[in-house]
Amino acid sequence: GEGNVREFLEPLGYQAVLSVHLCTAADGRFNGNAFVELNSEHAVKDALERLNRQQMGSRYIEIFESSMLERDASMTAERRRRRLHGQAPAQGARGRAPTYNGRGGLPGAPAPPYFPHPGSNMPMANYAPAPQQRNGYPVVRIRGLPFSSNESTIAEFLHGVNIPAQGVHMVYDANERPTGEAFVEVLSEADVQAALSMHNKTLGTRYIEVFRSSQGEMYRLQLGEAPVPEGVYGGQRQPFAPQMFQQAPMAGFAPPPPPHQHQAMPPMNAPMGWQ
């Protein structure tokens, strides 16, 4: 429970933990994941250095840097599941009102759970500090990703494109599976053009589509107001190491023949989610 989490984090100091959110599965039971809000970047670094892979009872605990967006998306998905299944909030589920200011995954329709990939510092791209307001960042949308991809995979694929810290947002479906889509915030219009130049390039054996998007489209998906395309589900959510880029992906479909010209992103017209 929450008390166990707070006791585990006691080495960080009595006032380090601001809030604890325990994540729940579709049946309302704790699923082993939790989001913890700490009072400083120093406390986050301290937790990663001192407590990652330490034991809580008989379990080894893994700690990953996360964001408010990830936590809020998880809470939103849990509320949807409770509405569908008529469940009461799980004990220990608490937090502030939604804010959208960091990296995270985006939910799929109709009531997606949200389980972010670990290790999302994304060291393979050029990063700028994340500002308090992200509304000005241009956005590109990526489709056709191997289902074993993670944020670092995407950052490396877009090598040379300047991506703000926590700027890669993966999309998951209602069954916790990646859809092969992602949204990426970039720093400038020049970076949008650089990203678009990767349209129909290959990642493993997949042809990757890159389209211009927007903050509005990205958050429509986050709020469940736009669709996940059908027929793109499946695959394993495991890291896709850089040395595997020239090999077949761990899961996914064979690539289609490359189109002869860049095509515009089709409009969407219906609904699309620390461990």
CATH value at residue 253 = 3.30.70.330
For position 167, what pLDDT does the model report?
A: 84
Residues 131 and 258 reside in one and the same domain: yes
Angle at 224 between CA 189 and CA 130, to 5 degrees: 40
For position 176, what pLDDT does the model report?
A: 62
**Higher pLDDT residue, 9 or 233?**
9
Q: What is the number of domains present in the chain?
A: 2
Residues 230 and 114 reside in one and the same domain: yes
Would you say how long the chain is, in residues?
275
pLDDT surpassing 70 at residue 253: no
For position 148, what pLDDT does the model report?
A: 81
pLDDT surpassing 80 at residue 244: no
Residues 129 and 46 reside in one and the same domain: no
- The residue out of 76, 99, 122 marking a domain boundary is 99
Give the pLDDT band of residue 103 (cuts 50, 70, 90).
very low
Phi-psi map region of 252: left, alpha, beta (phi>0 left; psi -120 to 50 alpha): left
- Spell out the SS3 assignment of 119-173: CCCCCCCECCCCCCCCCCCCEEEEECCCCCCCHHHHHHHCCCCECCCCCEEEEEC
Residues 69 and 147 reside in one and the same domain: no
Q: Token match 């994941």: residue?
A: 33
d(CA 77, CA 107): 7
For position 225, what pLDDT does the model report?
A: 44
Does pTM surpass 0.85?
A: no
Can you say how many angstroms the Cα of residue 41 is from the centroid of all Cα atoms in its chain? 20
Q: For 201, phi and psi rounded to 5 degrees?
A: -80, 160
* CB-CB contact of 77 with 138 (8 Å): no
**Higher pLDDT residue, 232 or 270?**
270
Residues 203 and 257 reside in one and the same domain: yes
- Spell out the SS3 assignment of 2-54: HHHHHHHCHHHCCCCEEEEEEEECCCCCEEEEEEEEECCHHHHHHHHHHCCCE
CA atoms within 13 A on the CB side of 10: 6
Residues 133 and 164 reside in one and the same domain: yes
**Higher pLDDT residue, 192 or 81?**
192
Residues 117 and 242 reside in one and the same domain: yes
Distance set, CA 33 to CA 21, 24, 63 (Å) = 9, 8, 10
Residues 239 and 270 reside in one and the same domain: yes
Residues 161 and 258 reside in one and the same domain: yes
d(CA 135, CA 56): 40
- The residue out of 77, 99, 121 marking a domain boundary is 99
- The residue out of 83, 99, 115 marking a domain boundary is 99
Residues 107 and 226 reside in one and the same domain: yes
Residues 186 and 256 reside in one and the same domain: yes
Average pLDDT of every residue of the chain: 68
Domain that holds residue 172: 102-275
Residues 11 and 120 reside in one and the same domain: no
